Amino acid sequence: MKTSYVPNHVTELQGPYGPLQILESKVQQIWALQHVQNGNWLTQSGRRLKVCSVGRWNRGAGPDFLEATIELDGVRQMGDIEIHLYREDWWRHGHNCDPAYNEVILHVVLFAGGMDRRILTAGGIEPEEWNMGPWTREDIESVSGGSPGLFGELVPELKEWMESDDPVSIRERLKIGADRRWQDKESMARCLLDSHGWEGGLHRMFLYYLGFPFNRRPFYEMAEALPMSCWRSCETLAIIRQKWAESVRWRYGRPANRAECRLKQYLKLNSSTPDWAVRLGNPPGFLVDRLRNRLSDLWSTENTSVIRRQAGLPEWDIWLTNHVLGGELNASLVQRLWVDVFLPILVVSNKLSPEEGMGIWFHGRPATFPDSYKELFKLASIQNRKQYPLCNGWVQGILWLEDQFRLERVRSTIGK
């Protein structure tokens, strides 16, 4: 498996069936399988959309799907489809300057909002744009097969690949995967903050991740319908129970991870520490200064143990757990929110620089992961070498790789 990597641009990975473009793979899969509800689909300009053919899933550079057929207000068109999580990724990936995207007739995004700027090709054409998010049948993680119970199912395939490569090359590919996952989390945070401000964006992202893995979509709907100020009363739970009785999977998961338990935790946090969002937005100056004073020295090394100690990462954990969240959430959930929600939001709101946020995110403690990953870490000489103790970045890299293998299974049977 060969890779070529340019930070913040398109990454390509040589998969078992040929080159595979690493973009928003989960959204591509939803489009390919048309895991969307039928309805009166309208583009951003208000034109009625009908998908006649999803197109040919592209295995090389260029748009994600080629030669698709759609109808706009009953008029049939053939061209390419480009798919992203957020609008801003059109510019972030440089498509506005790349002639390969001149035949794009539809830009599909999962999340609404983001930059208020026209989508234009290098040829000056403005493709139609459609927000697919409201029409997905399930939350994005469930559609892609990315629930915790399924992560780890492809470990035998990953192990076979890793056994044919050396630890240095494996770690380089894990870094690529970690970087890609960080970009997606950062992009989501930016989209939500641009659209809803600090408290509104943080509220939506917090509840979205509290819904992991079975209830992300209804939890996000709750955040849209009930602002943070409503989550300080126990009466809110009764309202939720009534309004979302059918859409929430109340009995899924272990008791501590079930929907009602998560919702009660969020209610308790907002009741006992109503200014937690303000506290999060004001990290202690001594911790930030310590991080910035050592930045140029630390990020040039890969030694996680040194970075954790000298950049004060344990102190960041204590500040978050006790001062921001008031000790209301268990350590596992705090760590998941730290890496999935809080660090990306602190970066896009300029509380931390991208280098600072990514450094803490990569070298910090990991959230929970399947036990079967441990044998993969050994093949990458992670954990059994002092320089490469287990950290969040390596776990994120494995998650990314497994998702690419899962995606390739689908791609091998669709759009050949």
Per-residue pLDDT tens over the stretch 42-98? 998 999 999 999 998 887 789 999 999 999 999 999 999 999 877 888 988 889 999
In this model, does residue 16 exceed pLDDT 50? no
Q: What is the pLDDT of residue 89?
A: 83
Q: Where are the alpha helices (DSSP H) in 34-92?
A: 89-92
Edge-to-edge strands, sheet with 11-15: 3-4, 11-15, 18-22
The residue whose two tokens read 């591509």 is 28
12: pLDDT confidence band, cut at 50, 70 and 90? very low
Report the C-alpha dihedral over residues 333, 273, 326, 337, rounded to 10 degrees.
20
In this model, does residue 7 exceed pLDDT 80? no
Comparing 157 with 416, the larger pLDDT belongs to 157
* d(C-alpha 357, C-alpha 343), whole Å: 6
In this model, does residue 325 exceed pLDDT 50? yes
Q: Where are the alpha helices (DSSP H) in 49-100?
A: 89-92
Across residues 227-251, what is the average pLDDT?
92
> What's the mean pLDDT when you consider all of the chain?
82
Q: What is the pLDDT of residues 366-385, one digit of tens each?
A: 887 888 888 888 888 887 56
* d(C-alpha 342, C-alpha 206), whole Å: 8
Across residues 303-308, what is the average pLDDT?
81
- If DSSP codes are grouped into helix, strand and coil, which group holds residue 84? strand
In this model, does residue 146 exceed pLDDT 50? no
Query: What's this model's pTM, rounded to 2 decimal places?
Result: 0.70
Q: What is the pLDDT of residue 414?
A: 58
* d(C-alpha 239, C-alpha 326), whole Å: 26
Q: What is the pLDDT of residue 386?
A: 67
299: pLDDT confidence band, cut at 50, 70 and 90? low
| Nearest one of 322, 298, 320 to 309, comparing CA atoms | 298
In this model, does residue 175 exceed pLDDT 60? yes
Across residues 104-108, what is the average pLDDT?
95
In this model, does residue 416 exceed pLDDT 70? no
DSSP 61: S
C-alpha dihedral sign at 249, 145, 222, 227? positive
DSSP 303: -
Backbone angles phi, psi at 96, to 5 degrees: -70, -15
Across residues 296-319, what is the average pLDDT?
78
Lowest mean pLDDT across 14-18, 69-73, 405-409: 14-18
Across residues 122-142, what is the average pLDDT?
76
In this model, does residue 145 exceed pLDDT 60? no
C-alpha dihedral sign at 257, 259, 264, 269? positive
Q: Using an 8 Å Cβ cutoff, are 183 and 84 in contact?
A: no
Q: What is the pLDDT of residue 39?
A: 74
Q: What is the pLDDT of residue 122?
A: 93
Across residues 185-194, what is the average pLDDT?
82
Q: What is the pLDDT of residue 292?
A: 82
Backbone angles phi, psi at 288, to 5 degrees: -65, -45
11: pLDDT confidence band, cut at 50, 70 and 90? very low
